[in-house]
Structure 1
Amino acid sequence: MKKLKGWIVLAVVVVIALYLFSLFVNYYGDWLWFNNMGYGSVFDTMILAQVVSFVLFFGIFVLFAAAQVNLAYKQGVHTRNNRFLREDDPRALILPLYQGKRVFWFWMVVVGFFGIVMASSASGHWNQFLQFIHPTAFGVNEPIFGKDAGFYIFQLPVYQFLTGWYLFMVVLAAAMVLFSYYLDNAFGMQGNSFYVSARVKDHMIQLGGFFGVGISALFLMKLYNLLYSSNGVAYGPSYMDVHAQIPAYRVIIVLTLLVSLLLFLYPVYRKKKFLLYSIATWALVWIGFVWIYPSLVEQYVVKPNELKKETPYILNNIKLTREAFGLNKVEMKPFPVTQNITYKDIQENRQTINNIRLWDRRPLIQTYKQLQ
């Protein structure tokens, strides 16, 4: 047994050493190139941002996941040995080994591995994090939320990444917690029935509260992404988005946070029906207000009078497009036209005359139809 442990430790050390050596080779070559080009400080900033991002996100994941697994293991002691396991149940083989220091080392490896995966995914966004910390204002506020355009370039992408990363962290932690409870025999099949410990229910419901916070943030991201909407006749928010979708998202964000609070507090009040009714109400509001209501507004309010309803948002599109391309700075000047053109003028400017387009409505209509 000691020899086996020694070989395992040696294998782990070799793998880590090879990984660190490959990192050194890759980064050392880049470091030489950047320094040779006179951009050594740029490379140092890049490496520092990657390292800080990795350490920060690794720490967040490990602290959250370890806290949840530790709680699950402590509560699993109540069911660890108080149920009969059949001989063909895989836990009958695992539980005798799942004791003492082995438990700590097992979960340290699992949590550490997923922590490295999650931290690596985050460190790849180091450039966005630097832009988030040092944003530049564009000096142009969009007309819907009143935010500077720089928010959507430098900050919103980071908020979107953090939302997705947070949700995935909660899902991974929940999976680890369930596996811990499974090993501790806190839920499973007993005969023909499925049993679940009350502690498992409480813990998973509270994790549902963490997940609900992430869902509310996801709806907030959807709210800001309506500025990229293509629902209307022009690119950007339409009448339906502003008067139906935005209010719907705001309502569902608040309602999601309230349901999350109820999930966190469930072990305090323990009213199962009240919690189920709250979740059902949330689902009905989501379906009715976020999905159905905007479609009704589009069908019965916008379409009967589309030009009038969409005109302000079309004008927003035109105005901001002109500003984006600098067309709002074009100066209009009258061109002095003379009516005394002679035959000699025509002959001397034959190339210009031949390039004049004739606006005949017959070929013009045909051409437009072909272009469309």
Structure 2
Amino acid sequence: MEQRSKRWIVLTVLLGGFFGINFLVSYYTDWLWFGGLDHAAVFWRMLQARFASGILFGAIALLIVGTNIWLAGQFTRQALRLGGSPWEDGEAPGEVLLRSRMAYVVAAGALVFVLGNIGASQWPLLLRYMYDHPFGVSDPIFSQDVAYYVFSLPFYEFVAGFLIGALVVSAVAVGLIYAAAGGIRFQEGLEVMPRPMAHLSGLAGVFLLVLAWKYRLKIYGLLYSQGRVAFGAGWVDVNVQVWAYWLLVLAFIAAAVFLFLNIRARNTQLPVRSVAVLVGGAIAIGAVPA
């Protein structure tokens, strides 16, 4: 076991060194270019913003992905200590990795690194959001200062998309872990053990709440609608589409409530009700004219 841990450490160091060298080479080139143009201060400001954005979104990714992988790992390692796969005799697929804490750390670290790097690339959005300044002119539909659409809304939209991505990555990761350990089994239909059911229900509930927020932001995005006649919100957008989006927001929240209740119930009835609510919302918005 100690030998395997050393291998994981060596692999992590090698990967970190590889990406670190690429990072230094890239930024050294940028530093030379900005310095040659006598704009070194701009380079350092950009670098600070990129680091701040990467740390911020990396921390968010660590909270989401790391917590979910840790919860799945706790179940898996406990199940294996009790005698292998919870449902089948014999060794679970990838049992050596499933028993290793270092494997979970490396997996979570790799995913957090990728997501943090995605967040770091959006440093201009973070800077615009941090230095928001009102324009003193409000839009005629929602009475929001125009600065909101320039500085805040793009940042919120990215955050919503980032959270959705982090939650999807977490769901895939924990789903694979549970499936390998026997917590999820595909034999004569889908079977999910109570603890994985509770975990996945909570994860799906949070996902739906983020979707509700995303569609709330889409309401403001209607001002950018590209109609057949003119650019901007049309009559249908203001009088119909807004309410359709609000209906979807409420549907996502209601479906999330069913899933949160299933954390304790741990059955299939509440998720089915959640899906029914979502289908109803989809039918409602599908009836709205484009």
| Counterpart for residue 231 of structure 2 | 235
Matched, 1:49 2:49: yes
Q: CA deviation at 1:285?
A: 3.0
**Cα deviations across residues 221-244 of structure 1 (Å, max 9, x unaligned)?**
321111111335322111111111
Q: CA deviation at 1:78?
A: 4.2
Correspondent of 1:126 among 123, 126, 131? 123
Matched, 1:210 2:214: no
**Cα deviations across residues 138-182 of structure 1 (Å, max 9, x unaligned)?**
332111111122222222111111111110100111111111212
Q: CA deviation at 1:281?
A: 3.0
| Counterpart for residue 111 of structure 1 | 108
Kindly tell me: are residues 74 and 231 of structure 1, through their superposed partners in 2, closer, same or farther at Cα, counting changes over 3 Å?
same
Give the aligned CA root-mean-square deviation in angstroms. 2.8
The count of corresponding residues between Structure 1 and Structure 2 is 286
| Counterpart for residue 147 of structure 2 | 150
Structure 1 unmatched ranges of 5 or more: 299-372
Identity %: 26
Kindly tell me: are residues 85 and 278 of structure 1, through their superposed partners in 2, closer, same or farther at Cα, counting changes over 3 Å?
same
Correspondent of 1:135 among 132, 137, 140? 132
Which ranges of 4 or more aligned residues in structure 1 deviate by more than 6 Å? 1-8
Q: What is the TM-score normalised by the length of structure 1? A: 0.68
Q: What is the TM-score normalised by the length of structure 2? A: 0.86
Structure 2 residue matching 1:265: 3-state secondary structure: helix
Q: CA deviation at 1:84?
A: 2.5
Kindly tell me: are residues 95 and 275 of structure 1, through their superposed partners in 2, closer, same or farther at Cα, counting changes over 3 Å?
closer
Q: Distance in 2 between matches of 1:14 and 1:273?
A: 48
Matched, 1:180 2:204: no
Structure 2 residue matching 1:139: 3-state secondary structure: coil
Structure 2 residue matching 1:195: 3-state secondary structure: strand
| Counterpart for residue 166 of structure 2 | 169
**Aligned-partner residue type, residue 74 of structure 1:** Q
Greater RCO (Cα-Cα under 8 Å, separation 6 or more): 2
Q: CA deviation at 1:255?
A: 3.0
Correspondent of 1:83 among 87, 102, 115? 87
| Counterpart for residue 24 of structure 2 | 24
Q: Distance in 2 between matches of 1:281 and 1:94?
A: 38
Alignment of 1:219-234 (within 5 A): 219-231=215-227, 233-234=229-230
**Aligned-partner residue type, residue 40 of structure 1:** A
Moved more, 251-260 or 74-83: 74-83
| Counterpart for residue 357 of structure 1 | none
Q: Distance in 2 between matches of 1:7 and 1:208?
A: 35
| Counterpart for residue 34 of structure 2 | 34
Larger Rg, first or second structure (1 or 2): 1
| Counterpart for residue 73 of structure 2 | 73
